[in-house]
């Protein structure tokens, strides 16, 4: 078993490459995914190696990309679709919600649409409008879709292959501000975790922090800072899968700590954090020492980038939240 150090970006590329080598029906589609390798270079080199029929530069039309991907899936292909930025998925929303999510159900299980829809998401890169959104709640709310996100190179590599192998459509959220974070990947025979398994990244006993994607690093830094300062012991749970949720891991952690914070970039109102707060209240009520606290984006449109350091939850806001929870 060898270990390789690479970035999340390169791990995603490696994951797709492995899936394409394993299954000739896997193909990539999107805007600029060919020669350019995508605006984030996640498909870099793949068109050269797999050809234009398997790494398809599409017209600039997101509904068209998703709609034709559905047709390709009906013909037996496994398209992996790149949406260039989070805020550009909305033209494809109808195809995703009305067709991708419902085809298996509508056909009483006779038709499968094993798509992976890759969406670079979240803020923190100083971008213009529509380039920094965390819109995962729309898709987690939609029955028929699976929604996952990665926070490490190892997850990027394995979860991409698992998502492509899934017979259900998977929305794969990529934490774009973490693309260049490096880490080690065990090049093992099998993935270390199930696609829909949550992972405790840092054990603790006072406060559970439920987080995912780009916020995982912030939560881990907060946990470390708190430990160094002799503060409360934080357990950081990286959810990885937003639909379905790994209820057992979440509940076990909160029952142990008795305090729960949900930390993510998305707006809190009717978001993933609302669902998680409801779940924890329902399953852990008698073990809770404090109300579930949500630390997220404010409920405004994503602000101009000069504001984003204040908009996005950071280490201080998480530690402040921990203090609030501990005060109960």
Give the active site residues: 131
d(CA 240, CA 19): 20
Which residue, 93 or 298, has its beta carbon nearer to another protein?
A: 93
- DSSP for 163-229, please give it: HHH-SS-EEEEEEGGGTT-EEEEEE-SS-SS-TT--EEEE--SSEEEEE-TTHHHHHHHHHHHHHHT
Please give the residue ranges that form the binding site for another protein (CB under 8 A). 27, 53, 58-59, 61, 63-64, 66-77, 91, 94-95, 98-99, 102, 104-112, 114, 143-144, 146, 166-168, 196, 243-245, 247
Q: What angle is formed at CA 222 by the lines to CA 216 and CA 223, rounded to 5 degrees?
A: 90
* Helix pair 315-326, 215-228: axis angle to 10 deg: 60
CA diameter of the chain = 60
- Least Cβ distance, residue 244 to another protein (angstroms): 5
Q: What number of CA atoms fall less than 13 Å from residue 246's CA on the CB side?
A: 22
Which residue, 9 or 20, has its beta carbon nearer to another protein?
A: 20
- Least Cβ distance, residue 167 to another protein (angstroms): 4
Which residue, 29 or 150, has its beta carbon nearer to another protein?
A: 29
Lookup: tokens for 112: 């499968």
- Least Cβ distance, residue 158 to another protein (angstroms): 17
Number of other residues whose CB lies within 10 A of the CB of residue 51: 12
- Least Cβ distance, residue 12 to another protein (angstroms): 22
Helix or strand (DSSP H, E) at 148: strand 146-149
- Least Cβ distance, residue 115 to another protein (angstroms): 11
Lookup: tokens for 167: 């017979």
Residues linked to residue 29 through DSSP beta bridges, in sequence order? 56, 81
- DSSP for 262-310, please give it: EEEEEESTTSHHHHHHHHHHHHHGGG-SS--EEEEE-SSSPPPGGGHHH
Which residue, 59 or 230, has its beta carbon nearer to another protein?
A: 59
Which residue, 105 or 299, has its beta carbon nearer to another protein?
A: 105
């Amino acid at each position: 078993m060898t270990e390789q150090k690479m970035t999340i970006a390169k791990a995603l590329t490696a994951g797709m490459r492995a899936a394409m080598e394993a299954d000739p029906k896997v193909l990539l589609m999107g805007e600029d995914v060919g020669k350019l390798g995508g605006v984030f270079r996640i498909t870099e080199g793949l068109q050269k190696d797999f050809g234009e029929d398997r790494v398809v530069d599409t017209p600039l039309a997101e509904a068209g990309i998703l709609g034709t991907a559905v047709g390709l899936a009906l013909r037996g292909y496994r398209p992996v679709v790149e949406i260039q930025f989070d805020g550009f998925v909305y033209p494809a929303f109808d195809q995703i919600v009305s067709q991708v999510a419902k085809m298996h159900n509508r056909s009483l299980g006779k038709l499968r649409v094993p798509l992976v829809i890759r969406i670079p998401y979240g803020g923190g890169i100083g971008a213009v409008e529509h380039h920094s959104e965390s819109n995962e709640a729309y898709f987690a709310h939609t029955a028929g879709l699976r929604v996952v996100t990665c926070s490490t190179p190892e997850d990027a590599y394995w979860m991409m292959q698992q998502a492509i192998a899934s017979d259900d459509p998977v929305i794969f959220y990529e934490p774009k501000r973490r693309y260049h974070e490096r880490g080690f990947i065990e090049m093992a025979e099998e993935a270390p975790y199930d696609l829909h398994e949550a992972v405790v990244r840092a054990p603790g006993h006072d406060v559970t922090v439920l987080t995912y994607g780009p916020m995982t690093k912030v939560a881990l830094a907060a946990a470390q800072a708190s430990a160094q300062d002799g503060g409360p012991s934080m357990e950081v749970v990286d959810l990885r899968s937003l639909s379905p949720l790994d209820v057992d891991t979440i509940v076990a952690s909160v029952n142990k700590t008795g305090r729960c914070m949900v930390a993510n970039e998305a707006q809190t109102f009717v978001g993933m954090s609302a669902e998680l707060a409801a779940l924890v209240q329902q399953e852990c009520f008698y073990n809770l020492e404090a109300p579930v606290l949500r630390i997220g984006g404010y409920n405004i449109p994503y602000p101009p980038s000069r504001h984003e350091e204040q908009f996005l939850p950071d280490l201080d806001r998480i530690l402040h939240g921990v203090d609030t929870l501990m005060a109960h």
